[in-house]
Structure 1
């Protein structure tokens, strides 16, 4: 069958057009291959490089001649188990996507992302490379930064809590969990108000309100218990990062205790200087006054004995205060030796027995059968006991019992307890006991307890006060059995 000239001409035109399109498409692909931003490498099944574009040459720091004589696997830094598993996966599945660390001829290390296709063109394999070194470096720095933050967060000497805008705990370090007496895993995800004790909700609300207004907030919480009060500083920073706020909880109980001790020490120093300046000046005229009053009492015929007794009583009280000043003002000539504390206490009670009878007060003295001797200064210990027991008598105007017990629990200390049945002392006032001129009595100076605290401290002991309003007060005195 003959084909018309017109149809033949149309077929020739189509063939020419198709051939032109093939050439045009080939040029387009070649242009894309050469100008691609990513490196493109064709290689055989043994890893030998067959062809590479300019981007690949720049990535591998090679000339075209050098790269075409290279094996792709020679650039891989570590041919480890992961590398061989990638090759196995590639030959099985025909494609892989991953990243490895490559060593360039100039010694430079590069982290390269790659996507490989098997038998892409004419049985050769194709891999597209992208330099991920900058991203890898950033990710590494980020991981290291996160690790540093985590180490600081976990190992901080302060409690740290991260929480979001919904007031939910996002993270909490071990110390903060310990302070809050809760398991870390149980706290994360819970709301702040779920874990806060009702006693502190008003304080925390005020803290957060100030935080939201000012961006930062500092406050102090006091937690009272049978073992004493604890103080915690709470410092918060609003919206620290990614809508997260940070709260730092610091136990400042020891710090506040040291501040109080320093304040007492400063006051004691001032009192000492004051005492040194005036005590002797007062004592000399006092001696003269006492002597002349005694002469007057003998020479006056009318019975004014009541007046003389009052005058002498007040003079003795002034003299007692001066003596306490002098004890504070300068070191006393004291001699430490082993003493039976039961005997020291018994002698003290005999001195105070008359005052106790006049005030309808009875002593109840109990002690352990076997008590070791204590290395102490007995006269100073008597002064401590006199000051505290006299106070106990004076706080019971209607009479009652003063109970004294002595044992050696804990073993390294002698434990002396002096207990009265008075009105008790409020907790806020207990903290100030031992300060000069602070007293719970109308006519007291506070120096008696201050001297007592000073003596116990010099004996390396300690004084603790336990009191309940309306029930009574206990003074716990601990004196070390042995002294270094």
Structure 2
């Protein structure tokens, strides 16, 4: 930081006092004008909001009345509609009157037949087809924001046609035979309680006044600080120190921030630093960093003290002496405007999530390369296998029944079939995740998939259950690929229950329009050390498995922009949880 030039100090000292005083008056005028404009704008917005709300309710009631006429409602049904619409917070009444102010329909049934406004007042209101408003006082002294306009749910000729029948005489009180208002115009009034809006306006006015006062005080303070700059140089220096701290320290950062003072003690520790380090600010404030922070962290201080800033230095630190956290550290000195050293600033980010994402990217790149390689190898192997199987069948037919040669040829054909199944799984895994989606009933799809494995389950004395939630939505999925994923999970579950058990499948809406599917078995479970690897290709705990089944499941679910999770307890069973979103997966054919 550079020191303020002496020439500038002389200019500040030689400014005439009347210039400062004039600046204060100008600032006061600006603040007053801003306050008045803000108050006027708030009142206009409040009136506009209530007017639009009243207009919407009037249109809604007209539409309801029009619908009721089409459904042959009676008068009590119109009254219920009127009362229900008026039974909202902040509404005093909703009424329909004749052109002389006599109430024809009211949210308070007891007021029908009385007068809402006098004839002269009704004429003064100049009621027309467009909504108007005014602020009036009720009989009990409360203020009301009244919105009104003509009321005509149907054209007059249509209303007369509907109301001629006896069934409509109760639904059309304004057209009842013998009514003096039956042929005149009607008006609809809705009155809102303006007390909450007045309170909010008063609160906003209060806040505006406070803010204006603060701005005024800051402005006056700034002018007076300049005016008394030469007399209060020590106070000015303290203000500069505060500005330096304020410019460097930003609250509520998503990264950890720690500062030290000029004595080298910890001065500021933000909430993100507490969360990352697990240390409480109250426990470490005022202490030397070497006493509470890791050595790898504090070694940066020597570099900073030499005047060399540190930017995005990656390291690992252990704040609790056990777990190492990957961190990105930045550090610099804090200097005031005169170049005085006030302390050091340390900023650090937790790289754990970044490392996890990097590892995920590397894993997917590795899987993509592996899939491409597998596809090429599978295509090269499948053709020779077909020839080998053909020769095996030929030799099997040439050998006598029950001979060793015939048995060896049969084994050769079986092994070729097994290799073909492995190659098929390789190709399924390597195949691009192009989905052909269509709107599908997930419940019916699950029932169909369970029928395919029910015979295998019954052969091992396994009970199959399906709990289908009644509110399952129809979502866009590829039914063939999802069936393949479910079959892989079912077969894994059946193989895990050699001595019988229960295969339970549950499906329900997840509350956001998607579907959650659970596949649970009561088998031998998965060892905790294997849980993190079960979705890796070629990882298997079975002697005859290929390790591609669950990898294919994960690939299919992720292609649907879903996720699959697993929970397992050894000797108690395993649960796979699939979440499918409601939206159509990106980049798929419909």
TM interval, shorter chain, is 0.5 to 0.7
Q: Does structure 1 residue 156 correspond to structure 2 residue 280?
A: no
Instruction: Give the 5 Å matches for 1:184-199.
Output: 189=285
Shift of 1:451: 1.7
Structure 1 residue aligned with 2:525: 424
Contact 2:262 2:342 in 1 (8 A): yes
CA deviation digits over 1:59-91, x for unaligned, max 9? 989xxxxxxxxxx99557535999xxxxxxxxx
Structure 1 residue aligned with 2:377: 278
Structure 2 residue aligned with 1:340: 441
Q: Does structure 1 residue 78 correspond to structure 2 residue 78?
A: no
CA distance in 2 between counterparts of 1:346 and 1:286 reads 36
Shift of 1:218: 2.6
Structure 1 residue aligned with 2:564: 463
- Please point out which of 272, 294, 303 is paired with 1:208: 294
CA distance in 1 between counterparts of 2:260 and 2:522 reads 50
Q: Does structure 1 residue 379 correspond to structure 2 residue 480?
A: yes
Contact 2:396 2:410 in 1 (8 A): no
CA deviation digits over 1:141-180, x for unaligned, max 9? 43332111123xx243212245799999642223334567
Of stretches 357-366 and 280-289 in structure 1, the one that deviates more from structure 2 is: 357-366
Shift of 1:283: 1.0
Shift of 1:300: 3.3
Paired residue secondary structure (1:143): helix
Q: Does structure 1 residue 111 correspond to structure 2 residue 204?
A: no
Shift of 1:413: 1.3
Q: Does structure 1 residue 291 correspond to structure 2 residue 233?
A: no
How many residue pairs get aligned? The number is 357
Of stretches 385-394 and 304-313 in structure 1, the one that deviates more from structure 2 is: 304-313
Contact 1:387 1:452 in 2 (8 A): yes
Shift of 1:268: 2.0
Contact 1:207 1:219 in 2 (8 A): no
Q: Does structure 1 residue 350 correspond to structure 2 residue 441?
A: no
- Please point out which of 262, 265, 268 is paired with 1:171: 268
TM-score, structure 1 as length reference: 0.59
CA deviation digits over 1:86-107, x for unaligned, max 9? xxxxxxxxxxxxx99699xxxx
Instruction: Give the 5 Å matches for 1:35-74.
Output: none
CA distance in 1 between counterparts of 2:231 and 2:460 reads 95
Cα distance change of structure 1 residues 355 and 276 upon mapping to structure 2, 3 Å threshold:
same
Paired residue secondary structure (1:111): coil
Paired residue secondary structure (1:406): strand
- Please point out which of 340, 359, 364 is paired with 1:260: 359
CA distance in 2 between counterparts of 1:424 and 1:176 reads 40
Shift of 1:274: 0.8
- Please point out which of 404, 408, 425 is paired with 2:505: 404
Q: Does structure 1 residue 324 correspond to structure 2 residue 442?
A: no
The structure richer in strand per residue is: 1
Instruction: Give the 5 Å matches for 1:212-251.
Output: 218-219=315-316, 233-234=326-327, 248=347, 250-251=349-350
Structure 2 runs not aligned, ≥5 long: 1-8, 25-221, 303-313, 335-340, 586-590
Shift of 1:430: 2.9
Shift of 1:415: 0.9
User: Looking at both structures, which has the greater relative contact order when contacts are Cα pairs under 8 Å and sequence separation is at least 6?
Assistant: 2
Of stretches 410-419 and 171-180 in structure 1, the one that deviates more from structure 2 is: 171-180
CA distance in 1 between counterparts of 2:263 and 2:525 reads 46
Shift of 1:470: 4.0
Instruction: Give the 5 Å matches for 1:137-156.
Output: 139=238, 141-151=240-250, 154-156=251-253
Contact 2:509 2:516 in 1 (8 A): yes
Instruction: Give the 5 Å matches for 1:432-443.
Output: 432-443=533-544
Cα distance change of structure 1 residues 163 and 313 upon mapping to structure 2, 3 Å threshold:
farther
Q: Does structure 1 residue 413 correspond to structure 2 residue 514?
A: yes
CA distance in 1 between counterparts of 2:346 and 2:15 reads 52
Cα distance change of structure 1 residues 456 and 243 upon mapping to structure 2, 3 Å threshold:
same
Cα distance change of structure 1 residues 382 and 220 upon mapping to structure 2, 3 Å threshold:
farther
Cα distance change of structure 1 residues 358 and 481 upon mapping to structure 2, 3 Å threshold:
same
Cα distance change of structure 1 residues 311 and 470 upon mapping to structure 2, 3 Å threshold:
same
CA distance in 1 between counterparts of 2:545 and 2:431 reads 22
Contact 2:433 2:559 in 1 (8 A): no
Cα distance change of structure 1 residues 332 and 466 upon mapping to structure 2, 3 Å threshold:
closer
Shift of 1:238: 9.6
Of stretches 251-260 and 266-275 in structure 1, the one that deviates more from structure 2 is: 251-260
Paired residue secondary structure (1:431): helix
CA distance in 1 between counterparts of 2:318 and 2:529 reads 15
Structure 2 residue aligned with 1:395: 496
Shift of 1:285: 1.7
Of stretches 405-414 and 353-362 in structure 1, the one that deviates more from structure 2 is: 353-362
CA deviation digits over 1:274-330, x for unaligned, max 9? 123222111112222333334444443333687666544433332122122223434
Cα distance change of structure 1 residues 403 and 150 upon mapping to structure 2, 3 Å threshold:
same
Contact 1:233 1:249 in 2 (8 A): no
Contact 1:221 1:233 in 2 (8 A): no
CA distance in 2 between counterparts of 1:137 and 1:165 reads 19
Q: Answer with 1 or 2: which has the greater Rg.
A: 1
Shift of 1:412: 1.6
Structure 1 residue aligned with 2:400: 301
Paired residue secondary structure (1:78): helix
Cα distance change of structure 1 residues 205 and 173 upon mapping to structure 2, 3 Å threshold:
closer
CA deviation digits over 1:314-363, x for unaligned, max 9? 33332122122223434377532222223322332333234434544332
